[in-house]
Every structure is written in structure tokens, then in C-alpha cells.
Structure 1
Amino acid sequence: MDTIANLFSFITTPVSWVIVQFHTMYGAIFGPDTGWAWGLSIVSLVVLIRICLIPLFVKQIKSTRNMAALQPKMKAIQERYKSDKQRQSEEMMKLYKETGTNPLSSCLPILAQSPFFFALYSVLSHIAEGKTIGVINESLLASARQAHIFGAPLASKFTDSAAEVAALDASLTSVRIVTAIMIVLMSASQFFTQRQLMTKNVDLSVKTPYMQQQKMLMYIFPLIFAVMGINFPVGVLVYWLTTNVWTMGQQMYVINQNPTPGSKAQDAYLQRLLKSVTHHGEVRGRRRKNIVKLIVAKGSDRNDNERRFFTGLSKAGFAAQADGTVVKSDTVAAEAEGAATVKRQQPKRQSKAQRQSGGHKAEDSAEATTSLEKKPQDSTTESKPQAPSRANSGTTRQAKSGQRKGQQRPKHPSSKK
């Protein structure tokens, strides 16, 4: 570790200068020799570095999403050119160039933060050894060696011997308890950050080996930090715990406000947006309008979450526009309500016997109605029922055989029978 720290010795002076400036500010409040002054100086150093790395963090998010979306195409290239590694590499580079994806972008924040991490490690190691470094002179060195964080010296480590800890005016038990707790918190925050990313902000419609790799890293990274943490000074543990907490909070904000398409986080975000639109009658905020605009532009390529969002808008009587706004549409609401009513009023499915029985009943009812309408009514005389004659029977048989039906014209009273 000391060898690696020496490689970044060129940045130890700027890092030590920043720490001293923050120490001067906090020392005026808590006292120059307190652990609060030196500990908060390290925390402020982390915050300053992470603010400067926000643009790289944005690139990391975009690169991670692009890599996840390209996994099916990458797998197809690997299967197609599995016997030609050179052609496989060429096709991969072509795919990266066409999509504007940089595989190293996901590692940029860690790589950019590494020099500051090792520079801080070098500064704290020199403090533990009683050596000046950068802008930390003899007086500042003595002040830093007296600073304790919950009873553990700033430059002490879990692996230090009792004599080394005693030289810093502390007990071995307090040092190991404090460092063990900080190592556990550091590893737990790393695990929770990765788990949050995998469970909420991953496109569930894409099943690729990339997801399996991320799941493995979710368990491997915390173990690496736990093993390496026993060799970190307390000040470095403060640094790394702070940067993990910052990463976790930054990621929570991104997941809630700009989730990955197709993820559970996107579904939750669109449901919140739907409630806001239904309550206020409009899309509030430029960022929300841009999201609605992008979803409208997708057309038929929308995922399930986005389709559910548009269905909810239609049921609420709103229609999304190409500019990201929504308009009240009574036609959309009426169509949605009518479709739901028709769906609810669909008749139950009948068996074949029930359909035939219903058909015969309908025919009999129609015949009865027709005969009643066509039966002559005489207001002066009341016709008496007569027994059916042979001629009438023949007529009936002829009518049944397909001849013309209908009532015969009555004979004149003067005509002979």
C-alpha cells in the first residue's frame, strides 16, 4: 500500500493543503487538536472531491445503462464470431462507436478518486510515523497526532500493535473496536448501494450475463473492502465510509428522479407522475415534461411501465402531447369508460343446447306475434270456433309444404255454400 501511495506523491501537497484549510475553519469551532476538527476536515475533503466528480458520475450512469442495453447485441456478436477473436473485437469496437458507449466510463469515478485516496493514505501514514508531509508542519503534525475519533487516533490501524497504539496515546481495545465498526459500516454501505442498484434500477426485461456479473460484484466488493479495511488508518476509513454514504445517497436520488427504463424504479416514478398529473391537471416541471416527451416519441417501442402510464392517463381523461404536456380529453375518457362498460356487460357463454332452446323459443314467439297481428277482427259479429275440415287440413299441409301461407278471403253471405 505504501508503494502505491508513493506513486501519487505528486498530489499529496494539494490534498494536505485542502485538509489544513478545512482544519483551520473547524478548529476555530471545536478546537484545533480535537478529533472533530480533523475528522470533519476529511469529510469535507470527500464532499469537495465528489462534487467535482458529479459530471463523471453522470457519464457513469449513461455508460452503465448503454452497456446493459447492448448486452443482447454483444452476445450475438460473440456467438457469431466465436472462432475469430480479431473480428469479434472489431465488431465490438464498431458497436461501441455507433452507440457512443465507452466501457471504461463506468469506472471513471473510481479511477478519478483513486489519486486522492492514496494521497490521503500517504498523509495519514506520515502523521502516524511523526513525519511532516506537504503543508503539514511540525505544529500541525503534533495536533493531528493528538486528535482522536471516538477514542481512536486518526492515524491508527486495526493491525497496529499495542506499542504503536500506545505511542499515539490510546488503547488497543478502543482502536480495534472503532476500526471494526467502521469497517463493517463501510462494507455494509457498499453492499446496500450495489443491491439497491440491482433490485430497483435494472431493466428487468433484459436478461444477460452482465446482470449475473453485477450480482457477483454485489457480494465481492464488500468482502474486498472488509479485507483491505484492516490495513487502513482511521482517517482513511472515515474517508471511505463518507464516500460510500455519498454514493448511496447520490444513487438513491438518481433512482427516484431518473430511473432506468423498464425497471421497478421507473414504474414507481411513473405512478407518482400519474398521481401528480391527475391531481394538478398538468405536468409540472421541465424535467418531468422531458420524460413524458421521450415516452411519447418512443411510440410502439414503449415498455410495460410506460404503457401502463399512458393507460392511466387515458382513464383519467388526459392525452399526452409531443411537447411533454397533457391536455384534457373528454373523448379519451368516454372511450375508456365505454370500453370498460362493454367489457363488463358481455353476456355469459351459453352451451349448445341452451342456444338451440333459446332459438326455438324466439321462433315460436315470433310466429305467435305474427298470427295475432294478422288475425281479422270483426266489430259487429263474433266468429264462432269451427272444427277443422278436411279442406282446411289440406290447406294446412300445403302451407307446411312450402306454399303460400295466409288467411283465405271470406265468402260473401249471398254466395252458396
Structure 2
Amino acid sequence: MPSFLEAPVAGAYHVLTSLVDILQPLTGAYAAVIAIVLCTLVVRLCLVPLSVRAQRGLKARAALMPQLKQLSEKHRGDPERLQREVAKLQAESGTSLFAGFLPMLAQLPFFWLMYTLFSRTVVAGEPNQLISGSLLGAPLGVHWPVATGTPAFLVVAVLLAVVAWFSARLQVRQLETSATTGAPVSTWSRRIAQLLPFGTLLTAAFVPLAAGLYLLTTTTWTVVERTILQR
């Protein structure tokens, strides 16, 4: 790993281990699990302004769909002119076609930190204390095993599937809302909206259990947050 990336990893490690030490007398063996959940909630709380901005951007984009459709039909033979006109329309409305991706992109560094912290046996020049934590008997630093005697991975997978199902419903509802403004929803778009949230299950199969917990916590937050913001 490049040396300039060691500093944030070491900093995150000391923050998380300090939190585990504080929680240990109250939560015992689940101190690391609770610490991961709490840190994830703090991260998402800090990203609320971005989420609000993203939701406003998505609503503004939905309102622009009829105009975007007209521009596409008018300049279908001139891609460069179409690009300029779309950029002009976005600038005048103060929105962006990529507004909805802001919260997800902002979370990537935190997910990377969680993955790194629970994938290494040595962090900041000392043995990694975090990987000794466990959930239902499964060490937080292990990846999804082919066979396991603990229900931890199954529990996380089922909960991720439930959250993904609710997330898919929200995304389809958002597509249908866009359709009411004049932009028809294609079968392909609907299928992507229904399947994409279940990508968290595939991701969880290739990351440590701790990163799976992060995914579960942050996707649950996202579903609750979107439900509130879409009202």
C-alpha cells in the first residue's frame, strides 16, 4: 500500500480500537460489532447534507425529463449540439444528472477503510486487535466461507436481502414518479432498478464480515433516509 494511505488507515484504526475499549465493559464480545455500527451511523449522519442535495437534484432532474426528451429528439443527429444544450439546461436549472451518486461516492473511502482494517493482521505497526472481534462466533476479519458452523454470515445475508428488496421498491417508485413527468420507464430500466440493490449480497461474499456489517448498516440507513426524503 502507498505510504500516503497508511496515515488514514492508522488514524481510523486508533479511533475504532479506542471506541472498542470504551464499549468493552458494556457490550463484551460484541464491542467491535457495535463500534462498526456506530462509526457507520456517524459517517452517514455527516453525509446527510449530501443526501438532501442529491434527493433535490433527482427531483429537479425528474422535472427536466420532458425538456431533455425534446432536446434529444430535436438534436438526435447532432450529438455535440445535444451535449451543449443539455449542459445549458442543467446550468440554468442548477441541477446535475449525476446528483444521485454523491452520497454513494462519498462513502467509498469509508468502505475502503473498513475493508482494509479487517483484512490486515498488522496495522500501524502493531498486531491488529480488531480482527479478534466476532459476531455469533464468526471472526469479523474472515471472508464468507464455503461452509461454516456459525449463522453470522447467513443472518447478514438475509438482512441484506431484505434491505435490498425495500431499496428496489423505492427505486422503482422513483422511476415511476419520473414517468409521470413525461419520461417513460423502459422494461430494462425497471429491471436494473429491481436487481441493482441486490449487488450488496455479491459484494458481501467477497469482503470481510466487518465490511458486510458496514454494508448492512449503511444500506439500511439509505432505505430509511430515502423513504423520509421522498415524502
1:226 equivalent among 172, 185, 201: 201
Which residue number corresponds to residue 191 of structure 1? 165
Q: Is the counterpart of residue 21 in structure 1 residue 10 in structure 2?
A: no
Which of 195, 206, 210 is the matching residue for 1:235? 210
Q: Is 1:108–2:102 an aligned residue pair? A: yes
- Report the counterpart of residue 140 of structure 2 in structure 1: 154
Task: Answer yes or no: is 1:80 the counterpart of 2:70.
Answer: no
| Kept in 1: contact 2:143–2:208 (CA 8 A) | yes
Q: How far apart are residue 193 of structure 1 and its match?
A: 2.1
CA contact (8 A) 2:54 2:100 kept: yes
1:159 deviation in Å? 3.9
1:179 shift after superposition: 1.4
Shift of 1:69: 1.1
Identity of aligned pairs, percent?
Answer: 23
- The one of the two structures with greater contact order (alpha-carbon pairs below 8 A, sep at least 6) is 2
- Report the equivalent of 1:137: 126
Unaligned runs of 5+ in 1: 161-171, 260-417
Q: Between Structure 1 and Structure 2, which shows a larger proportion of helix residues?
A: 2
State the distance in 2 between where 1:8 and 1:216 align: 38
Does structure 2 conserve the Cα–Cα contact (< 8 Å) formed by 1:71 and 1:210? no
The normalised TM-score by structure 2 is 0.88
Answer with 66-75 or 9-18: which moved more: 9-18
Q: What CA deviation, in whole Å up to 9, does each residue of 1:34-80 have, x standing for no partner?
A: 1x100000001101100110110011101111111111111111111
Partner residue, 1:390: none
Question: Aligned match of 2:54 in 57, 60, 69?
Answer: 60
Deviations 1:222-278 (A, max 9, x none): 3422222211211111111011111122222223xxx2xxxxxxxxxxxxxxxxxxx
CA contact (8 A) 1:6 1:122 kept: no
What letter matches 1:206 in structure 2? T
Q: Write the distance in 1 (CA, Å) between the matches of 2:59 and 2:104.
A: 18
CA distance in 2, matches of 1:6, 1:106: 33
- CA separation of 1:145/1:114 partners in 2, compared to 1, >3 Å: closer, same or farther? closer
The one-letter amino acid paired with 1:219 is Q
Matched with 1:403 is none
Larger radius of gyration between Structure 1 and Structure 2:
1
* AA aligned opposite 2:111: F
C-alpha distance in 2 between matches for 1:84 and 1:212 = 27
Which whole-Å CA distance do the structure 2 matches of 1:10 and 1:54 have between them? 26
Distance in 2 (alpha carbons) for counterparts of 1:79 and 1:97? 20
Supply the distance in 1 between the matched residues of 2:7 and 2:55 (Cα, whole angstroms). 30
State the one-letter code of the partner of 1:236: A
RMSD: 2.6
Moved over 6 A (4+): none
2: CA distance, partners of 1:117 / 1:234: 12
- The letter of the residue matching 1:110 is M
Number of paired residues?
230
Opposite residue 74 of structure 1, the aligned amino acid is L
| Length-normalised TM-score, structure 1 | 0.51
Contact 1:12 1:122 in 2 (8 A): yes
